[in-house]
A and B are shown apart, each in its own frame.
Chain A
């Protein structure tokens, strides 16, 4: 598509990128393809077109229940992680803190330890402290991995903006609290939305921590994991995967739209 565009001449890296995109997309696109195929076994040649796997998916109460759990956990995790991440980012960008590099590295540790280690470490603590495993324990694990992402997103947003604006508001007699609501928050808003979406997505898709830290109540990835063992359940899992893909595409487009609004507002603010 892009190659045909007259403005872009043929280039080696350009055609490579198109092939690379095919490699990235094809395996994923098998999911929607077979979700419309009227056969239990996932194999060529394709049979008739059907929507019955989507009907089966929509009437599966265990699936809907775990979907609900995942949304609950994801919403709470993204809010708490974004609050913690934003506070840390604000502290590092606006104030001079002793040993700030060490503290930043400490907060970023979850990015560099394998998830399975974090999973079993939390499992050991919860079992020794007699804390019942539940959606809450899953949520705690998710917050640990989301906070560093939130902090990084917020730092890149907050680093850019003019500290003079906050000082001006204070000089004009605003209380620190009102300064926050009327100056800092609107400027940070696109970052906050990006952080919420990122944390929600991480939590919504996270399997390994949930695998170690769950009891009876399962999240969506845990539900999918149990379904993968039964061949007859597979087509409706593929239908579910296709829906997740479609929703994610909308979310990504929405996030980009918010980011653009953010860019425009900060540009018009500067001029």
Chain B
């Protein structure tokens, strides 16, 4: 029955795919359409509205629709915006690099050295990340604070007399805290890519007399690069816009772009400027990610 009604796949693909769909395709599209419609309404339209608003002006409580590039002008005139955006990107890139480097050996251990109950190890590693994100960040304020764990601990054993003030409210505090908070996001993609590597390649490399370090550098590491890149981006992209960490442990020197966006939508009450800052940040992040992917692609081609 199904054979009579459905056109053969070959015929379906030669014609225009939208007008000569098989029943199968129609059913598939019907199934996926609620999700697409929802995301069009709750993701597509909001982003479009944000772009539109970035061309508006606001004086006090009065929003004036229109088309002006003034908000973008403000961004490029005021040094603080550029500096903070640049610093946010540096911070997040550093955080992503640190999390990847710290996670790699652990992922390697679980993928290659653990023979049984690998899932148990993965659960053990990711368990601390199931507490509240806010409290995980806050834990670092407890550790690094003026009366915090490190200071009170060092004072009570007599190493220092006065609390150290360089621990909290700066960039390093933001970077350490984020590197800890996002560690689990790095380990899983790296583990998956290591797990996929064909073990016979490693045996072949060993049989050909390569020492373990060489066969790691020439076989394992290149083959696990997709996981490393995914891990890097999974940490880099969300942390650029993080608001909580700079707010809790960053102080004045640790401000990141998320804090500036929030200020424009909150206290400063200039939504169009906030929208412009958001759009510029999103575009910059996208460009950085594309350049990063292009570079790694070029590198891969040259090595191959």
Partners in one complex: yes
Interface residue ranges, A against B (CB under 8 Å): 8, 11-14, 16-17, 20-21, 23-25, 27-28, 30-31, 34, 41-45, 84-85, 87-88, 90-92, 94-98, 103, 106-107, 109-110, 112-118, 120-125, 128, 140-141, 143-144, 147, 151, 201, 205, 207-208, 211-212, 220-221, 224-225, 228, 237-238, 241, 244-245, 248-249, 251-253, 256
List 8 tightest A-B contacts by C-beta distance, closest first.
A95-B28, A114-B241, A248-B130, A43-B152, A121-B46, A91-B32, A13-B109, A91-B31
| Interfacial chain A residues near B271, Cβ < 8 Å | 124
Q: Which of A17, A42, A94, A106 interacts with B39 by CB under 8 Å?
A: A106
| Interfacial chain B residues near A114, Cβ < 8 Å | 237-238, 240-242, 258, 281-282, 285
Q: Which of A27, A205, A220 interacts with B140 by CB under 8 Å?
A: A27
Docked Cα-Cα span, A64 to B38, in Å, equals 32
B231 interfacial by beta-carbon distance below 8 Å: no
B184 nearest in chain A by CB position? A24
Docked Cα-Cα span, A77 to B127, in Å, equals 23
Judging by beta carbons under 8 Å apart, are A116 and B180 in contact?
A: no
Interface string of B270-284 (1 = CB under 8 A from A): 010011001001100
Q: How far is the CB of A95 from chain B (nearest CB, A)?
A: 3
Give residues of chain B (31-50) contacting chain A, Cβ–Cβ below 8 Å: 31-32, 34-36, 38-39, 42-43, 45-47, 49-50
Q: Which of A21, A34, A115, A125 interacts with B238 by CB under 8 Å?
A: A115
Judging by beta carbons under 8 Å apart, are A34 and B36 in contact?
A: no
| Interfacial chain B residues near A25, Cβ < 8 Å | 128
Judging by beta carbons under 8 Å apart, are B109 and A16 in contact?
A: yes
Judging by beta carbons under 8 Å apart, are A84 and B38 in contact?
A: yes
The answer to whether residues A221 and B134 also contact, given A109-B43, A116-B258 and a CB cut-off of 8 A, is yes
Docked Cα-Cα span, A112 to B285, in Å, equals 10
**Interface of chain A, main secondary structure:** helix
B66 interfacial by beta-carbon distance below 8 Å: no
Offer 28 A-B interface pairs, CB within 8 angstroms, sorted by A.
A20-B125, A21-B125, A24-B125, A30-B142, A31-B139, A43-B149, A43-B152, A84-B38, A96-B22, A97-B32, A107-B36, A110-B39, A114-B241, A116-B242, A116-B258, A116-B262, A117-B50, A117-B241, A124-B49, A125-B49, A207-B133, A220-B132, A221-B134, A224-B134, A241-B135, A249-B127, A252-B123, A256-B119
Judging by beta carbons under 8 Å apart, are A120 and B147 in contact?
A: no
The answer to whether residues A224 and B135 also contact, given A88-B32, A91-B29 and a CB cut-off of 8 A, is yes
Q: How far is the CB of A109 from chain B (nearest CB, A)?
A: 6
**Interface of chain B, main secondary structure:** helix
A112 nearest in chain B by CB position? B237
B174 interfacial by beta-carbon distance below 8 Å: no
The answer to whether residues A13 and B106 also contact, given A41-B147, A117-B50, A252-B123 and a CB cut-off of 8 A, is yes
| Interfacial chain B residues near A151, Cβ < 8 Å | 35
Interface string of B12-29 (1 = CB under 8 A from A): 000001100110110111
Docked Cα-Cα span, A34 to B135, in Å, equals 13
Docked Cα-Cα span, A124 to B28, in Å, equals 33
B84 interfacial by beta-carbon distance below 8 Å: no
Docked Cα-Cα span, A121 to B241, in Å, equals 14
